[in-house]
Structure 1
Amino acid sequence: MTDKKNAYHKVRMERKKTQIDASIAKANIEKGILLVITGNGKGKSTSAFGMVARALGHDLKVGVCQFIKSRTDTGEEAFFSAQPNCEWHVLGDGFTWDTQNREQDIATSERGWQIAEKMLSDPSYDLVVLDELTYLLSYDYIDKQRVLSALQARPEMQHVVVTGRSAAAELKEIADTVSEIQEVKHAYKSGVKAQIGVDF
């Protein structure tokens, strides 16, 4: 029985390898990728910062713009901002329910977006992370077409990662890769506070 299972497994894996090799050979386009990571689950920013680590490991230049959030005591900022090829900006005043001031949020978003726009027009940045950018669009803090135009006009080989809940349909439409992270369970809803090294 074991020999039969092993033989069947070998045939399946040979067939799978043929299919995968063909797919890899077919994917031969070189271009900058626009990735959108959205959804209500935990891990959107975490995924983006994993790509920051990957890019820095290849000696690429990275720019990070964190919208909305204002805290500067996160582990990711402490680590990545100390890296020579990483430029890190915390550009928010805090969550909208903390500021409770739409005019202030719009002004802060505009200042932050100007920094992001410079990165998106500079070919020296290999990867740009626009963390929680989706909120600036869904709250109408920044003109949507202005953002879409800047993303589409960026340097040909520049990669961009956009994170945040409720990504606009137009943003998902122009993206090369879209991932939606679904929440199945979250410790916070059981009364567990944010944990250092895991949540910030």
Structure 2
Amino acid sequence: MAEPDDNDRHAEKMAKKKAARDKIMATKTDEKGLIIVHTGKGKGKSTAAFGMIFRHIAHGRKCAVVQFIKGGMQTGERDLIERHFADLCEFHTMGEGFTWETQDKRRDMEMAQAAWAKAKELIADPSNTMVLLDEINIALRYDYVDVGEVVAFLRDAKPPMTHVVVTGRNAKDELVDLADLVTEMELVKHPFRAGIKAQIGVEW
């Protein structure tokens, strides 16, 4: 009897893998609104979060964005959403730039508190299927917003099917513990270290 060739062996191996995978997938039947954390020193935290926002828009689902820090910057995501998808995605830029640029702690705290108030309003609205809290981790790190209050609200007041995505470096342990999905972006290499500035279409 002829030995099976590589293609036959591959097909048999993949069939076994598919059967095992299908068995696992059959047990995954629950749905819930997720708390998702993107943190770490690597690039891509907000970029990945906006990818999910655009998925919601593509599926015709209402969603919202609150930016806690990047208010002083033009961004392609904000321009695109406000120009073409404002009916599906509310976009609120509440910050005035990074803390080392504003150099006004009291003003930064006021803006962060206003952003959190808006975030609570949007999360509590069950018509929003996802709310992105962009760079809230920075506001939490500097104690501009109390992490205990954020955790309590997300745990007790978030509608059960609403997804909430939080981004920014140095995510607080309390938020990580609460989250359903946590991704830490690891920095391996960055052009900034080679003297290359932030560029349109890559960083903003």
- Give TM class, smaller chain: over 0.9
Q: What is aligned with 2:133?
A: 130
Residues paired across the two proteins, number: 199
Q: 1:10 to 1:67 in 2, by over 3 A?
A: same
Q: What is aligned with 1:26?
A: 27
Residue identity over aligned pairs, in percent, reads 44
Letter in 1 for 2:53: V
1:44 CA drift (Å)? 0.5
Q: What is aligned with 1:145?
A: 148
Q: Which moved more, 1:97-106 or 1:42-51?
A: 97-106
Q: What is aligned with 2:182?
A: 178
1:72 CA drift (Å)? 4.8
Q: What does the per-residue CA deviation read over 1:35-72, in whole Å, with 9 as the maximum and x for residues that have no partner?
A: 11111111100001100110011110011001111235
User: How far apart, in 2, do the equivalents of 1:72 and 1:119 lie?
Assistant: 23
Determine if contact 1:72/1:90 at 8 Å carries over to the other structure: no
1:7 CA drift (Å)? 2.7
Q: What is aligned with 2:15?
A: 14
1:5 CA drift (Å)? 2.4
User: How far apart, in 2, do the equivalents of 1:38 and 1:125 lie?
Assistant: 23
Q: CA RMSD in A?
A: 1.4
1:21 CA drift (Å)? 1.1
Q: Which moved more, 1:182-191 or 1:2-11?
A: 2-11
Which of 82, 96, 102 is matched with 2:105 structurally?
102
User: How far apart, in 2, do the equivalents of 1:23 and 1:106 lie?
Assistant: 47
Q: What does the per-residue CA deviation read over 1:116-146, in whole Å, with 9 as the maximum and x for residues that have no partner?
A: 0101111111110000111111111111111
Q: What does the per-residue CA deviation read over 1:133-185, in whole Å, with 9 as the maximum and x for residues that have no partner?
A: 11111111111111111211201110111111111111011111111111111
User: How far apart, in 2, do the equivalents of 1:67 and 1:131 lie?
Assistant: 6
Could you tell me which runs of 5 or more consecutive residues in structure 2 were left unpaired when the two chains were aligned: none
User: How far apart, in 1, do the equivalents of 2:186 and 2:4 lie?
Assistant: 40
Determine if contact 2:56/2:62 at 8 Å carries over to the other structure: yes
Q: What is aligned with 1:194?
A: 198
User: How far apart, in 2, do the equivalents of 1:116 and 1:172 lie?
Assistant: 19
1:12 CA drift (Å)? 2.1
Task: List aligned pairs for 1:74-93, cutoff 5 A.
Answer: 74-82=75-83, 83=85, 84-93=87-96
Q: What is aligned with 1:157?
A: 161
